[in-house]
Structure formats: structure tokens, C-alpha cells
Amino acid sequence: MKALLLIAHGSRRQRSNDEVIALAEKLKTECAEHYDIVQAAFLELADTLIADGIENCVRDGARQITVLPYFLNSGRHVTEDIPHDVDAVRPNFPDVEIQIAQHIGASTAMIDMLKATAVNAV
């Protein structure tokens, strides 16, 4: 089984965390042909941290996990913190393939999304 784990920063404001969880729920429908499991986890300041999210995916049957950083820029969280957290939990699941996708800000689709948002704002 394949899992997609959407990683956001996390917030002290639960409503912000709930938005990410809701986004993961929407992705579950949109990505159903590619991923059996779609969940959200957080770098910090929230209940489900990256290690917890990976463990949850494995418990649900995942043998391949794609970690998707929901970040706009390749700052320290993307380049250091997320890989560190993933690498720390990797030995616990030696039979599970875990890969980290590019952060969403690096996607070529960002230009189209920004353009659509800007045009609709007028």
C-alpha cells in the first residue's frame, strides 16, 4: 500500500492545524488512484508529529510513504528539519520505503495557481 503524508509546520492555533487536516482529506479523494492512505502530520506545535504520521501510515498498512512538505520555500525546515525527522524514524521501519517529495513551492504548478489567484482577485 502507498501512503501520502502531508507535512505542515504546525500551529498553536488549532484551527490552522485543522485546515491542513481538511486539506489532507480532500487530497485523499483526489489522489485515490495513486495513494491508498493520505494523512497529515506536523513538524512541531501540533499533536501528530512527523514520526507519529509515519507510524500511523505503517499501522494502516503502508509499505511506501511519500512525505510531501506543505511549505513554499526551501528554508531550514524543508532542507534540514523534515529530512532529519524522517531519517530518525526510518530505522524503526526497515521494510518501508520512505521518500521525501519536493516542497510544494518548487512545483511548476505554483505559477498557474498564483496566476489564477491573482486574476480572480481583480
| CATH classification of the domain holding 103 | 3.40.50.1400
pLDDT number for residue 104: 95
Q: Which of these, 45, 43, 63, lies nearest to 53 by C-alpha position? A: 43
Q: Which three cell numbers stand for residue 13?
A: 492555533
Reported as a single tens digit per residue, the pLDDT across 7-50 is 999 999 999 999 999 999 999 999 999 999 999 999 999 999 99
pLDDT number for residue 122: 75
Q: Which three cell numbers stand for residue 63?
A: 509499505
pLDDT number for residue 26: 97
What's phi and psi for 68, nearest 5 deg? -115, 105
Reported as a single tens digit per residue, the pLDDT across 79-122 is 999 999 999 999 999 999 999 999 999 999 999 999 999 999 87
pLDDT number for residue 42: 98
Domain total in the chain: 1
pLDDT number for residue 121: 82
pLDDT at residue 6 greater than cutoff 80: yes
Structural domain of residue 23, as residue ranges?
Answer: 2-121
Sheet of strand 64-69, all strands in order from the earlier edge strand to the far edge: 37-42, 2-8, 64-69, 97-100
Instruction: Say whether pTM exceeds 0.85.
Output: yes
Reported as a single tens digit per residue, the pLDDT across 54-71 is 999 999 999 999 999 999
| Conformation bin of residue 45: beta by default, left when phi > 0, alpha when psi is -120 to 50 | left
pLDDT number for residue 100: 98
Beta bridge partners of 2: 64
